[in-house]
């Protein structure tokens, strides 16, 4: 039985009655929510289960929310055309609803699925994308043949389509309406690369897929070194990441949004990598490709920095992190997890751990994962990360 809050959410979406509503009271909760790649009904059910929705269909006026990126593309058990329609309606509805709240209440981070709409897919039509998608589907299971077919389509359409597997998994629900929405939100500054927060008294950096020493080096340039103290490091990354995005948008005309070298979009036959694509991996479990930067060693997490990211679900973490997964740690969908590095020892386990002080290791680092597989987990069991609220 859908309660009044959820009914009101859907009424807002049906009527597109999405008007900014400024909260009138001081916030008492701030939360980070991982990858809302799901239907609007399930997304709102997650928020309702955590007591975040008001009866009017908006967030409660005392709640602040950070959406951690990736608002499109999820598995739907339907034929291709119907699946695309379902995903398109869900992604644009959720993103519009989030953006209708004031920026002081809802912050929206951009993820790799979002940015692909204005990079790899910056000019393709709905019809041409569907044809390429169907071709990729036909060759599913034969990666070499599929990639070759997609490259032929890319040349014929003069497009920059990525690999066949990415057409099937990473941008399966694409429509040009999504591209228009993401483009508009980026240009008006409603989506960003990073924000900061406080958890358990510790400053933390929030991005879609985390930063490494590679990004720190790119952002530092010649005369802006990374500060030593933790608060300064968080603020430094937020300022420079969002500054890099703003600079890229200022120079953005009709072509793809260019975030190189922070983030590199895919090209025919080659997946993209860097800031919004990469994930931690064990060198025994996975092969590293430095030129693509789709994976990084946890040793490259910046020291004295606690981070929060989305992007990677628990099953993928366990497959990529090998024996760094803590012995006896049970797999659990919907749960928040943390990768820590202390005194050179790397460990992955359930729970939130951003305390970098108790061991006395100034080179310690922590990375909290909040992508809890929203499309498959019971909303009652989906965790959101509680943060310290901020004055507007």
Q: What is the pLDDT of residues 280-311, one digit of tens each?
A: 999 876 666 777 799 999 999 999 999 999 99
* Four-point Cα dihedral 205, 350, 170, 176, nearest 10: -50
Higher confidence at residue 4 or residue 124? 124
Cβ pair 67, 33 in contact under 8 A: yes
Higher confidence at residue 5 or residue 257? 257
User: What is residue 378's three-state secondary structure?
Assistant: coil
Report the pLDDT value the prediction gives residue 19, as an integer from 0 to 100: 58
Identify the burial level of 183 via C-beta atoms within 10 angstroms of its C-beta, where 0-12 means exposed, 13-18 middle and 19 or more buried. middle
Report the pLDDT value the prediction gives residue 12, as an integer from 0 to 100: 63
Q: pLDDT digit string (tens) for 216-272? A: 999 997 778 899 999 999 999 999 999 999 999 999 998 999 999 999 998 877 889
Q: Do the domain assignments include residue 107?
A: yes
Q: pLDDT digit string (tens) for 154-184? A: 665 656 777 777 787 778 899 999 999 999 9
Same domain, 131 and 231: no
Query: Residues 352-382, buried b or exposed e (16+ Cβ, 10 A)?
Result: bbbbbeeeebeebbbbbbbbbbbbebebeeb
Q: Measuring CA to CA, which residue among 318, 382, 320 is closest to residue 349?
A: 318
Q: pLDDT digit string (tens) for 313-323? A: 999 999 999 99
One-character DSSP codes across 247-303: HHHHT--SS----TTTEE--BTTB--EETTT-EE--TTTS---TTT-SEE-GGGSPT
Q: pLDDT digit string (tens) for 344-386? A: 999 999 999 999 988 789 899 999 999 999 999 999 999 999 9
One-character DSSP codes across 21-56: ----S---EEEEE----S-HHHHHHHHHHTT-B-TT
Q: Do the domain assignments include residue 227?
A: yes
Identify the burial level of 234 via C-beta atoms within 10 angstroms of its C-beta, where 0-12 means exposed, 13-18 middle and 19 or more buried. buried
Same domain, 263 and 315: yes
Going by pLDDT thresholds of 50, 70 and 90, the confidence category of residue 20 is: low
- pLDDT above 90: residue 18: no
**Residue whose pair of structure tokens reads 């006395």 in the numeric block:** 360
Same domain, 164 and 195: no
Same domain, 96 and 161: no
Q: pLDDT digit string (tens) for 95-111? A: 999 999 999 999 999 99
Distance between CA 80 and CA 134 in Å, rounded?
A: 8
Cβ pair 50, 63 in contact under 8 A: no
Same domain, 344 and 355: yes
Report the pLDDT value the prediction gives residue 224, as an integer from 0 to 100: 82
Going by pLDDT thresholds of 50, 70 and 90, the confidence category of residue 1 is: very low
Q: How many domains does the chain have?
A: 2
Same domain, 126 and 154: yes
Same domain, 33 and 92: yes
Q: Which tokens belong to 295?
A: 């994976």
% of the chain beyond a pLDDT of 70: 88
Same domain, 128 and 81: no
Going by pLDDT thresholds of 50, 70 and 90, the confidence category of residue 45 is: very high
Highest mean pLDDT among 4-13, 229-238, 322-331 belongs to 229-238
Report the pLDDT value the prediction gives residue 299, as an integer from 0 to 100: 96
Cβ pair 153, 131 in contact under 8 A: yes
CA angle 60, 66, 69 (to 5 degrees): 135
- pLDDT above 90: residue 26: no
- Domain span holding position 96: 1-13+27-119+175-392
Q: Do the domain assignments include residue 18?
A: no
If you average pLDDT over residues 61-65, what whole number do you get?
96
- pLDDT above 60: residue 16: no
Distance between CA 365 and CA 304 in Å, rounded?
A: 6
Residues 6+ apart with CB under 8 A from 381: 333, 334
Cβ pair 341, 270 in contact under 8 A: no
Residues 6+ apart with CB under 8 A from 262: 215, 218, 219, 241, 244, 274, 275
Same domain, 282 and 143: no
- What does the mean pLDDT of the chain come to? 89
Distance between CA 381 and CA 372 in Å, rounded?
A: 9
């Amino acid at each position: 039985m859908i309660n009044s809050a959820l009914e009101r959410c859907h009424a807002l979406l049906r009527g597109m009655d999405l008007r900014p509503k400024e909260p009138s009271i001081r916030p008492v909760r701030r939360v980070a929510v991982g990858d809302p790649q799901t239907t609007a009904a399930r997304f709102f059910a997650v928020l309702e289960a955590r007591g975040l929705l008001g009866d009017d269909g908006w967030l409660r006026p005392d709640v602040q929310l950070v959406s951690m990126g990736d608002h499109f593309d999820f598995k739907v058990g339907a034929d291709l055309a119907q699946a695309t329609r379902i995903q398109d309606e869900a992604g644009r509805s959720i993103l519009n609803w989030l953006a209708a709240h004031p920026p002081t209440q809802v912050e929206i981070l951009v993820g790799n699925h979002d940015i692909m709409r204005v990079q790899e897919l910056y000019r393709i039509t709905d019809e041409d994308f569907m044809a390429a998608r169907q071709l990729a589907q036909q060759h599913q299971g034969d990666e070499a043949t599929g990639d070759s077919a997609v490259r032929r389509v890319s040349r014929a359409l003069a497009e920059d389509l990525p690999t066949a597997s990415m057409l099937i998994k990473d941008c399966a629900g694409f429509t040009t309406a999504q591209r228009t929405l993401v483009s508009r939100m980026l240009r008006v500054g409603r989506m960003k690369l990073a924000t900061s927060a406080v958890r358990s008294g510790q400053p933390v950096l929030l991005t879609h897929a985390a930063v490494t020493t590679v990004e720190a080096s790119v952002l530092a340039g010649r005369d802006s070194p990374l500060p030593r103290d933790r608060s300064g490091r968080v603020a430094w990354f937020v300022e420079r990441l969002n500054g890099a995005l703003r600079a890229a948008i200022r120079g953005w005309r009709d072509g793809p949004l260019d975030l190189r070298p922070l983030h590199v979009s895919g090209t025919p036959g080659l997946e993209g990598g860097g800031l919004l694509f990469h994930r931690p991996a064990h060198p025994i479990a996975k092969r590293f490709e430095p030129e693509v930067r789709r994976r990084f060693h946890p040793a490259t997490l910046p020291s004295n920095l606690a981070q929060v990211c989305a992007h990677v679900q628990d099953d993928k973490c366990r497959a990529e992190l090998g024996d760094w997964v803590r012995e006896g740690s049970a797999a659990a969908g919907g749960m928040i997890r943390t990768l820590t590095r202390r005194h050179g020892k790397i460990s992955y386990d359930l729970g939130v751990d951003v305390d970098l002080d108790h061991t006395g290791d100034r080179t310690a680092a922590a990375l909290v994962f909040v992508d809890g597989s929203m499309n498959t987990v019971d909303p009652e069991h989906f965790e959101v990360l509680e943060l310290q609220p901020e004055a507007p």
